Amino acid sequence: MTNETLDTQVSALNNEPDDSLLPLDVIYNLFGFLPNKDLARHRLVSNKWQKYVKKALAYYAKGMFDPKYIDTAFLSKLQVPLELAKTFIEYRYKDLQSGNDIQLDRYFEGNAAAITPIAQEAVTVETLIKALHDLEQKQQKINSKQKVEIEYTINSLEGLVNYIKAYDQLQNKHYLLKIDFNQNESPRNNDFINLLLDIIKLSNDQNPPEPINISYNNEVIQVTYDQAKVITNHMTVLELTSCGIAAEGAKTIADALKTNTTLNSLELANDYIGAEGATAIADALNTNTTLTSLNLRNNSIEAAGAIATAVALKANTTTLAFLDVDTLAFLNLECNSIGAAGAKDLAEALKTNKTLTSLNLEGNKIEVEGAQAIADALQANTTLTSLNLRNNGIGAAGATAIADALKINKSLSSLNLRYNSIGAAGATAIADALQANTTLTSFNLSYNSIGAAGAQELANALNINKSLTSLKLSSNRIGDAGAKDLAEALKTNKALRSLHLQGNKIGAEGASALGKASAYIKKTQKREITIVLNDDLIIIFEEAKKEELVRLEKLEAQEKLKSPKFQQAESFADMVARQEIKRGIF
At 231 the pLDDT is 63
Residue 464, pLDDT > 80, answer yes
Is 336 part of any domain?
yes
Domain end among 43, 74, 99: 99
Do 581 and 443 sit in the same domain of this protein? yes
Do 459 and 542 sit in the same domain of this protein? yes
| Exposed/middle/buried for residue 460 (C-beta within 10 Å: 0-12, 13-18, 19+) | middle
Domain end among 189, 212, 239: 239
d(Cα 141, Cα 149) in Å, to the nearest integer?
Answer: 16
Residue 156 Ramachandran class (φ > 0 left, ψ -120 to 50 alpha, else beta): beta
Is 400 part of any domain?
no
Do 416 and 561 sit in the same domain of this protein? yes
d(Cα 399, Cα 402) in Å, to the nearest integer?
Answer: 5
Residue 551, pLDDT > 80, answer yes
d(Cα 37, Cα 27) in Å, to the nearest integer?
Answer: 17
Do 525 and 436 sit in the same domain of this protein? yes
Is 113 part of any domain?
no
Q: Look up the CATH number of the domain holding residue 511.
A: 3.80.10.10
Long-range CB contact pairs, 147-150, < 8 A, 24+: 147/174, 147/175, 147/176, 148/89, 148/90, 148/91, 148/92, 148/93, 148/174, 148/175, 148/176, 149/92, 149/93, 149/94, 149/175, 149/176, 149/178, 150/93, 150/96, 150/175, 150/176, 150/177, 150/178
Do 430 and 548 sit in the same domain of this protein? yes
Is 124 part of any domain?
no
Residue 188, pLDDT > 50, answer no
Per-residue pLDDT tens digits for 200-214: 555 555 554 555 565
Residue 414, pLDDT > 70, answer yes
At residue 85 the predicted structure's pLDDT band, cuts being 50, 70 and 90, is very low
- 3-class SS of residue 165: helix
Mean pLDDT in residue range 63-74: 36
More confident residue, 544 or 366: 544
At residue 497 the predicted structure's pLDDT band, cuts being 50, 70 and 90, is very high
Number of folded domains that form the chain? 4
At residue 363 the predicted structure's pLDDT band, cuts being 50, 70 and 90, is confident
In which domain, by residue range, is 280 found? 240-392
d(Cα 309, Cα 218) in Å, to the nearest integer?
Answer: 28
Is 403 part of any domain?
no
Mean pLDDT in residue range 54-73: 39
Residue 263, pLDDT > 60, answer yes
Is 120 part of any domain?
no
At residue 58 the predicted structure's pLDDT band, cuts being 50, 70 and 90, is very low
Which one, of 361, 363, 366, lies nearest residue 394 by Cα?
366
Do 571 and 447 sit in the same domain of this protein? yes
